Structure 1
Amino acid sequence: MQISAKADYAVRSLVELAADSARPLTCESIASSQDIPFRFLKSVFRDLRTAGLVRSQRGCEGGYWIARDAASISVAEVMTAVDGELFTVRGERPDALHHPGAAQGVSELWCDVEAVAGALLQRTTIAQLAARGGTAHDASAAVPA
């Protein structure tokens, strides 16, 4: 299973927003703190806004806010918002695959992988990830104990 850069950046950005929800954060500040290419992050935020996961505020005090309670946003929802299907094999959903002969069990394996990975990503929330990492811009959180 390969996680796209877009999905990784989207999840990391939402965790950053959840960790510092007192004010809107700019794409520039998130890109800098998460070491994400700014231009790429702008397209990620377009997808997140379209999916209703972030909202934006214009102006000098503007930026992005998380649009819902971070505890109600699953990692699976974020990944689907930016990438479409959560798990595919050669562009097809695993339950649509039918391998011939001795390889019939491979289709079942991919379905099982999708079920297990999907369940983990569905039950893991942005709030849980934010709690694991401490607060945004907290230098002590990055230092091992």
Structure 2
Amino acid sequence: MKVSAKGRYAVRSVINLSLSINTQKSVREVATQESISSDFLEKIFRSLKKGGIIKSIRGAHGGFTLNKQPGDITVLEVLEAIGEEFNPTPCASDKCGKECDISYFWTMTREYVTDFFSKITIEDIIKREIKL
């Protein structure tokens, strides 16, 4: 399994917003700070907003900010909001359609990774307090 660039940028952007939690930032500002294309980040922000991770504030001092505290946002939530999938092989998804001797292993792998990401918050990453 490989987390896509979209997934990595989404997590980085949420961390960026977390570091200035009481301030709204524009897409362009975050994109510049994280060296991400503004157009690409705009699409990511739309998904993050739809997923309830961030919110937009209109007006002269508007922009984007977190919708929750960093300790209440898991990596899994961020990745799911942008449509990241955790299937190491088609055997671990509904796409396979058949049961074989190894499919249970791939399903367990998917469940393990999903569970791992569900236990790590953005705050854990910022504080470097990830417990395995």
Same fold (TM over 0.5): yes
Q: Percent identity?
A: 27
TM-score (norm 2): 0.85
Say if 1:16 and 1:65 are closer, same or farther in 2 by CA, change over 3 A.
same
Matched ranges for 1:8-87 at <5 A = 8-83=8-83, 85-87=85-87
* 1:118 and 2:110 aligned: no
2:106, 2:91 → 1: CA distance?
13
How far the C-alpha of 1:10 sits from its partner, in A, is: 0.9
Q: Which has the higher helix share?
A: 1
1:116, 1:97 → 2: CA distance?
21
Say if 1:126 and 1:98 are closer, same or farther in 2 by CA, change over 3 A.
same
How far the C-alpha of 1:2 sits from its partner, in A, is: 1.4
Gapped regions of structure 1 (runs ≥ 5): 133-145
Q: Deviations over 1:71-94 (max 9, x none)?
A: 111111111111154436349726
Alignment length (residue pairs): 128
Q: Larger radius of gyration, structure 1 or 2?
A: 1
Say if 1:116 and 1:97 are closer, same or farther in 2 by CA, change over 3 A.
farther
RMSD of the alignment, in Å?
2.2
Q: Deviations over 1:40-96 (max 9, x none)?
A: 000000011111110111223111110011111111111111115443634972696
1:91, 1:42 → 2: CA distance?
33
Specify the code of the residue in structure 1 equivalent to 2:106.
W
8 Å contact from structure 1 (residues 53, 66) kept in 2: yes
